[in-house]
């Protein structure tokens, strides 16, 4: 029986494999010159956009974007970024109107993500009903909100309709972005009493998704 040794072949294969795995040191003279690599504008734009989106999301959540994030904060950020991507992908005006009508009533980002992943407008409405979510515009006001309106006051979470019933129509409405999102700033001129008599005061109410998120007096 003729025997053929496979050792030389194995050694040759190993040698070729080792050569392919060999990494040149930068001092060898063969190391690639990174300066010869052409810049990639598309990659730069992507990284800048991603950094901007993260900073914007952190500011929305009230987290300082300049400090390192904890583990829970990182998870919260990832959920918020996922939600923002889904919001950008809402395909039709009807679906956008439906989502932003209910957004303020959905209990957190995970519920909003679940809502947006339901494939039909009708399916989302059924899910909303099971969740027990309603909105003031069609179902009246809660007892607490009704009392706030009676006192001519406002609170966070109040609808635009409730604000007009409490304070009347604004003197000026400023809209940020697409009006369908109902991100607005309402300005009122009020005369308030002071030590020197009555003075004119500017009051500004901020809305996101048609709901009060804050206000200030100037």
Higher pLDDT, 5 or 151: 151
Confidence (pLDDT) at 185: 95
Where are the domains positioned within the chain? 42-137, 139-217
Residue 156: exposed, middle, or buried by beta-carbon count in 10 A (0-12, 13-18, 19+)?
Answer: exposed
Confidence (pLDDT) at 91: 93
Write the class of the CATH domain 139-217: alpha beta
The 10s digit of each residue's pLDDT in 11-62 is 444 444 444 444 544 444 444 555 556 677 777 777 787 888 888 888 777 7
What lies within 8 Å, CB to CB, of 23 at 6+ separation is none
Bridge pairing between strands 197-208 and 211-217 = antiparallel
Residues 134 and 175: their CA atoms lie apart, in Å, by 25
The 10s digit of each residue's pLDDT in 150-197 is 888 999 989 898 898 889 999 999 998 888 888 999 999 887 777 777
């Amino acid at each position: 029986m003729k025997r053929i040794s496979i050792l030389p072949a194995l050694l040759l294969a190993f040698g070729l494999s080792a050569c392919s795995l060999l990494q040149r040191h930068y001092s060898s003279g063969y190391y690639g010159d990174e300066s010869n690599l052409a810049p990639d504008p598309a990659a730069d734009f992507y990284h800048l956009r991603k950094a901007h989106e993260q900073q914007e999301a952190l500011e929305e959540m009230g987290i300082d974007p300049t400090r390192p994030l904890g583990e829970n904060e990182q998870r919260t950020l990832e959920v918020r970024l996922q939600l923002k991507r889904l919001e950008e992908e809402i395909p039709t005006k009807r679906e956008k109107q439906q989502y932003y009508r209910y957004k303020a009533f959905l209990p957190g980002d995970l519920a909003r993500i679940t809502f947006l992943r339901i494939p039909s407008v009708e399916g989302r409405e059924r899910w909303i009903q099971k969740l027990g979510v309603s909105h003031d515009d069609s179902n009246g006001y809660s007892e607490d909100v009704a009392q706030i309106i009676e006192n001519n006051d406002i609170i966070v979470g109040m609808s635009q309709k409730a604000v007009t019933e409490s304070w009347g129509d604004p003197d000026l409405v400023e809209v940020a972005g697409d009006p369908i999102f109902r991100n607005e700033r309402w300005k009122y001129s009020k005369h308030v009493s002071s030590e020197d008599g009555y003075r004119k005061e500017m009051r500004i109410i901020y809305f996101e998704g048609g709901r009060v998120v804050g206000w200030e007096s100037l």
